[in-house]
A and B are shown apart, each in its own frame.
Chain A
Amino acid sequence: MSGLAFMVRRNAPLALVLVGLGLLGVGLDRWLNAYYLQIVVLIGINIILAVSLNLINGITGQFSLGHAGFLAIGAYVSAATTRFAGLSSEAALPVALLAGGGAAAVAGLAVGIPTLRLRGDYLAIATLGFGEIIRVVILNTEAVGGARGMGGIPILAGFGSVYACAALCLVMIWRLVYSPRGTAFFAIREDEVAAAAMGIDTTRYKILAFTVGAFWAGLAGGLLAHFIGYLHTNSFTFLRSVEIVVMVVLGGLGSLTGCALAAAILTILPELLRFGAEYRMVIYSLLLIAIMLTRPSGLMGGREISWRSWSSTPAR
């Protein structure tokens, strides 16, 4: 079979899915009550966040607790782009998103490089520290509203743009990780010293993981900003980072589709529990502890979703 035909066959299901989602988006806009549509959009954003964090935490094994910082940078930079340039048309969205993602990627670089030689607990705390520093710097930046928040962001993102980005993110990271070179990420996770001894440039892959992960988190931030229309640093604290970590852990560190599923579940769950709002976070934390004590490999056990029934042995 020719190379072109092979490429078309390989990607046909993906194309089908994207078209299907697009149609769904058009239909959903008209059927769904705006409140439920909001939840579905938030699921999409959380999928991007979970998958991007999984690249750093689950696949490359770099325990990062500062993801909310990248989210914040992406949100504020993209909001500043549309607000201060006075743009309000739909076409401005990709520009803003790329600006946000790009800024976050730079931040990812800034975090990834100094923390190269840190391991385990120290890395976690350092990333936590960076996330908080980012938040405090934004808090003190009057130009973006500082401690009082930033409003008046044009509402440009909706179901279509969010799911397009989610699909793109999933595909891009999937292709990055499950390519021949991509096994380097897993090798670093399993045993960094051995990987280096085998000739893998651990520095390059670790920085790549941080940068790509941060880029997508920043892009998700841009989507969030242009969907809600209001930003406040209170939404980007360590707690937000932890919420994303819970999604990744629930889905299974290292399983891209697993954490996408977990993101969906954990976005819907708080809405279902709205009546017991004060118990919502208690249940979250109990869930996290329970997963750690019983099945630390998460729902998918580190494997991707497939037609095979879920096995309990962790993959790789």
Chain B
Amino acid sequence: MDQLAQQLVNGLAWGSIYALIALGYTMVYGVLRLINFAHGDVYMVGAMSAFYLAHALGFAAAPSLPGFVIVMALSMVVCALLGALIERAAYRPLRRQPRWAMLTTAIGVSMLLEFGGQAVFGADPKFFPQLIESAPAFRIAGAVVTNIDLLIFTVSLLLMLGLRWFVYRTRAGMALRAVSVNVDAAALMGINVDTIIAMTFMIGSALAAAAGAMVGLRNPKIEPLMGLMPGIKAFVAAVLGGIGNFPGAVAGGLLMGVSETLVAAYISSTYRDAVAFVILIAVLLVRPTGLFGSVTVEKV
């Protein structure tokens, strides 16, 4: 049964990735009640920009850990700016419109990033440079944990703790929480809602970019459509955990990663993607508020 331990390690690595992306979804939904379809594609832009930065800054030729960290940090900045741009250009004008308008626009932005990515980056897959040579870091219960897996766990944990600190220990974080509860009341309290929302997008996008860069390192094949499925899966993870709930998003992400890996290993790999949708339907039908979410009444 040492196989199970290895599967869990595999699953948790992807789970951390999904958790990072899910946090972005949950944050944006919290403040805007919008499912940001384009979020998965921001993850892709993170991977792509990390790829180009690695080559441009010369780290591809001289692999190193600090090199990767710098590349990842820079791609986080790039995507934060992208996130702010998307919010300002595509979502802010529609804030007073019916919900389907923003949702449709989000789909449009998602497609724009995907196919624009194909036009700009080329549709062929690219291969992320091996900035860190994969090597076993340690063995636990018969499972091999590589140094890259360890990096993913560590970075994800640090980013999540950082987010938690930000949301619960800073004024800006408090403002964010206020906007999530009631936009109008927050505005009346003197909070600049536009700024908070833009900030939310920037943080969420930065997390997605980190996820993208790390995936590039671990599974080096990257291409413009790579964000589609992970985006949907991360969204399902957010819903599973209770959309709007941060620890829920993390739990949901880890659960998604593990269940997907177990299904691929013990049932069939072609059902790997279906797991996400089955979980989604099940959650929506049985407990729409998710594992950790709270029930809200629809006021007329």
Complex interface: chain A residues within 8 A of B7 (CB): none
Grouping DSSP codes into helix (H, G, I), strand (E, B) and loop, the A interface class, with mixed when no group exceeds half, is helix
Q: B87-105: contact bitstring with A at CB < 8 Å (1 yes, 0 no)?
A: 0001001100101110111
B109 touches A285 (CB 8 A): yes
Known: A125-B235, A126-B284. A289 touches B277 (CB 8 A): no
Question: Which chain A residues in 227-271 approach chain B with CB under 8 Å?
Answer: 238-239, 242, 245, 249
Interface residues in B81-123 by Cβ distance below 8 A to A read: 90, 93-94, 97, 99-101, 103-105, 107-112, 114-116, 118-119, 123
Whether A121 contacts B35 by the Cβ 8 Å rule is yes
A249/B273 in contact, CB under 8 A = no
Known: A124-B35, A125-B35, A289-B90. A63 touches B100 (CB 8 A): yes
Quick one: CB contact mask for B274-286 with A, threshold 8 Å, 1 for yes? 1001101100110
Alpha-carbon gap, A278 to B116, bound state (A) = 8
Q: Find out whether the CB atom of A139 lies under 8 angstroms from the CB atom of B270.
A: yes
Q: Tell me, in angstroms, the Cα distance from A128 to B273 when the chains sit together.
A: 13
Q: Contacts A132-B273, A132-B277, A133-B277: A125 and B284 contacting too (C-beta < 8 A)?
A: yes
Assuming the A-B contacts A124-B103, A133-B277, A281-B115, are A289 and B270 also in contact, with contact meaning beta carbons closer than 8 angstroms in the complex? no
Count of chain A residues with Cβ under 8 Å from any Cβ of B? 41
Report whether over half of chain B's contact residues are helix, strand or loop; otherwise say mixed. helix
- Are A288 and B103 touching (Cβ within 8 A)? no
Whether, in the assembled complex, B33 has its beta carbon less than 8 Å from a beta carbon of chain A, the answer is: yes
Asked if B103 and A281 sit within 8 Å, CB to CB, the answer is: no
Contact B284 A118 (CB under 8 A): yes
Whether, in the assembled complex, B268 has its beta carbon less than 8 Å from a beta carbon of chain A, the answer is yes
| Set of chain B residues within 8 Å of A285, measured between Cβ atoms | 108-112, 115-116
B103-A289 in contact (CB<8A)? no
- For the complex, give the distance between the alpha carbons of A10 and B1 in Å: 75
Chain B CB within 8 A of A4 CB: no
Most-contacted residue by chain B among A147, A193, A286 (CB, 10 A): A286
Interface residues of B in 259-296 (CB under 8 A from A): 268, 270-271, 273-274, 277-278, 280-281, 284-285, 288
A22 at interface by CB-CB < 8 Å? no
Contact in complex: A282, B35 (CB < 8 Å): no
A284–B111 touching, CB < 8 Å: yes
Instruction: Please pick, from B34, B93, B123, B271, the residue contacting A278 in the complex, using a CB distance under 8 A.
Output: B123
For B300, list chain A residues within 8 Å (CB): 193
Q: How far is the CA of A194 from the CA of B277 in the complex (A)?
A: 32
Cβ contact within 8 Å between A288 and B284:
no
Shortest beta-carbon distance from B228 to chain A in Å: 8
A155 at the interface (CB under 8 A from B): no
Contact of A282 among B34, B104, B116, B274 (CB under 8 A): B116
CB-CB under 8 A for A133 and B104, given A140-B270, A288-B111: no
A121, B123: Cβ atoms closer than 8 Å: no
B285 touches A114 (CB 8 A): yes
B50 is an interface residue with CB less than 8 A from chain A: no
Partner of A133, one of B93, B228, B281: B281
User: Whole-angstrom distance from the CB of B115 to the nearest CB of chain A?
Assistant: 4
Interface membership of B131, Cβ < 8 A = no
If A140-B270, A282-B115 touch, whether A289 touches B108 (CB-CB below 8 Å) is: yes
Judge whether B104 and A129 touch: CB under 8 Å.
no
Query: With a CB–CB cut-off of 8 A, which chain A residues contact B114?
Result: 281
Q: What are 15 residue pairs bridging A and B, where the CB atoms are less than 8 Å apart in the complex? A: A57-B100, A119-B298, A124-B103, A128-B232, A129-B236, A129-B284, A136-B270, A140-B268, A238-B228, A245-B107, A279-B119, A288-B111, A289-B108, A292-B94, A292-B101
